[in-house]
Amino acid sequence: MPDEIRASHILFDVKSRSKEEAKTAIKKIISDLNDGNDFAELAREHSDCPSGSDGGDLGRFGKGAMVPEFEKAAFNLEIGSTSDAVKTSFGYHLIHRTE
């Protein structure tokens, strides 16, 4: 397992929307990704995280930099793949590993 990776994400903050709204939004984004839409564009349009303006790019990060649930999912992704919904204390994330 690498010591450092690069990933992007789309955050659905459950503080600004209901859990059901977040799950519905995630399903829609996954469908859009399966239809060939660009992850970065979807992040710009839908992410509740400030990184959304950068296409969800979180830059490079090592182990211990992210909350455990996020880190485990991100480090287990193949380069170029996207996770299913990952629940953390921040809300629900779709994670896309870029490097």
What Rg value do the Cα atoms of the chain yield, rounded? 12
Neighbours of 66 (CB within 10 A): 21
Q: All domains of the chain, ordered by start, with CATH?
A: 4-97 (3.10.50.40)
The b/e string for 33-45 (b: 16+ C-beta within 10 A; e otherwise) is beeeeebbebbbe
DSSP state of 26: H
- pLDDT tens-digit series, residues 23-82: 899 999 999 999 999 999 999 999 999 999 999 999 999 999 999 999 999 999 999 999
What pLDDT shows up at residue 19?
A: 86
The answer, yes or no, to whether residue 4 has pLDDT greater than 60, is yes
- In the predicted model, is pLDDT for residue 89 greater than 60? yes
- Is the pLDDT at 2 greater than 80? The verdict is no
Apex CA 98: angle with CA 92 and CA 99, to 5°?
A: 125
**If pLDDT is split at 50, 70 and 90, which confidence band does 87 have?**
very high
Tell me how far apart the alpha carbons of residues 20 and 13 are, in angstroms, rounded to a whole number.
Answer: 11
